[in-house]
Amino acid sequence: MAKGNQHISSEGLTPRSEGRQFFVLAVIILPLLLVLGVAAYGFIVWMLQIFFFGPPA
* Chain segment 21-49, per-residue pLDDT in tens: 999 999 999 999 999 999 999 999 999 99
What is the pLDDT at residue 4? 62
Determine the average pLDDT of the residues in 4-31: 85
* Domain ranges, ordered by start, for the chain: 14-57
Give the C-alpha distances (Å, rounded to integers) separating 5 from 8, 15, 21, 50, 53: 10, 11, 20, 62, 64
26, 18 Cβ separation under 8 angstroms: no
> With bands split at pLDDT 50, 70 and 90, how would you rate the model's confidence at 56?
confident
Query: Averaged over 2-20, what is the pLDDT?
Result: 75
